[in-house]
Amino acid sequence: MKYAVLATWKMALEGTRKAAALLKEGEHSGRAIVEGITMVEDEPSFHSVGFGGRPNAEGRVFLDGGYMDGDTLHFGAVGSIENFRSAVRIAYSLQEGDANNFLVGEGAERYAEEHGFEKRDNVTEEAMELYMKEKDRLQELSAYDGHDTVCFLALDQNGTLCAATSTSGLFMKQPGRVGDTPLPGVGYYADSKVGAAAATGMGEEIMKGALSYAAIRMMKDGMSAQEAAETAVFELDRELKERNGHANPMSLIVLAKDGSCGIGTNVSFTWCYASDTEEAAVHEITLP
């Protein structure tokens, strides 16, 4: 395959199409997926990312995002930032240099402001209505009520693999909570010699197995993208059930350096894929 793009959830379809068009023109995989994710961040009808994202326990929207370049292994990330248009664009810009690549909270916001990143109040009327309706039921809400992360992986025509992520995290999360999404090795990982991986689902579970790096490690040891995605998720799912009696939802997408893809999930899940031989389309796994 000359190029390929793989993304989490059906909300990524238009972004996948856009990223694939850029890859076709010869664009770098990192720049192509940042464009794809920004489209998802800008769409208020997607309720778990960027504009219109799910509010935290105080009715405010805080964003996490990450980016990794599989050639250099450089990454950039932001955690718990408020009032900016695109977490992934800020994360992308932080990949330069050997230090200060992962910024959170006030420091990340100051950096974004100083570097001219676009500001935006991400709390929409619809998100606020939902918050007002649910805020007194906080104790009853299950950990998985109303969240999803947009993750994009891409292979470009030069053989570079990149990964990027963006989310508003768990609905009604505690102020200061950061999920797996900005954590390299956990929410995403990319190594152009092997493959790229990214996760969505309950961040605290995904952290327990460093899921993205786990899959890439398995591919280094010879597994295909599909074997690695399934093995990483099912092993962690089994360990968590053995130790804690249950495992929360988690899904993993994996793209190999040959453009083939793999999906591992313990819940029903949708994803988007496009390549030089396949039009962008939504795919689905339905579990009971």
The residues annotated as belonging to the active site are 149
Stretch that binds ligand ASP, among 54-62, 163-171, 215-223, 270-278 (CB under 6 A): 163-171
Residue bearing tokens 């920004």:
38
Candidate residues 35, 180, 230, 237; the one interacting with ligand ASP per rule CB under 6 A: 180
CB atoms within 10 A of CB 115: 11
Stretch that binds ligand ASP, among 35-43, 87-95, 144-152, 212-220 (CB under 6 A): 144-152
DSSP code, position 16: H
201 binds ligand ASP (CB under 6 A): yes
Classify residue 108 as exposed, middle or buried by CB count within 10 Å of its CB (0-12, 13-18, 19+).
buried
Candidate residues 16, 56, 80, 181; the one interacting with ligand ASP per rule CB under 6 A: 181
Candidate residues 70, 203, 209, 259; the one interacting with ligand ASP per rule CB under 6 A: 203
Candidate residues 16, 167, 266, 275; the one interacting with ligand ASP per rule CB under 6 A: 167
Rounded Cα gap, residues 161 and 285, in angstroms: 25
41 binds ligand ASP (CB under 6 A): no
DSSP code, position 53: P
200 binds ligand ASP (CB under 6 A): yes
Nearest 5°: phi and psi at 234?
-70, -35
Minimum CB separation of residue 143 from ligand ASP in Å reads: 9
Our CB check for ligand ASP shows the closer of 47 and 217 to be 47
15 binds ligand ASP (CB under 6 A): no
Residue bearing tokens 């769409």:
43
* Residue 252 Rama label (left phi>0; alpha psi -120 to 50; beta): beta
Rounded Cα gap, residues 266 and 241, in angstroms: 12
Our CB check for ligand ASP shows the closer of 26 and 175 to be 175
Degrees to nearest 5, angle at CA 99 with 70 and 29: 25
Candidate residues 32, 163, 170, 272; the one interacting with ligand ASP per rule CB under 6 A: 170
Of 2, 181, 153, the residue nearest 69 (C-alpha): 153
Candidate residues 16, 38, 95, 149; the one interacting with ligand ASP per rule CB under 6 A: 149
Stretch that binds ligand ASP, among 38-46, 91-99, 107-115, 179-187 (CB under 6 A): 179-187
Instruction: Write the CB contacts of 267 (distance below 8 Å, at least 6 apart in sequence).
Output: 201, 249, 250, 251, 287
185 binds ligand ASP (CB under 6 A): no
169 binds ligand ASP (CB under 6 A): yes
The tokens describing 135, both together, are 């805020």
147 binds ligand ASP (CB under 6 A): yes
Q: Which helix (H) or strand (E) holds 19?
A: helix 13-24
Minimum CB separation of residue 12 from ligand ASP in Å reads: 12
179 binds ligand ASP (CB under 6 A): yes
Residues in contact with ligand ASP by the rule CB under 6 A: 147-149, 167, 169-170, 179-181, 200-203
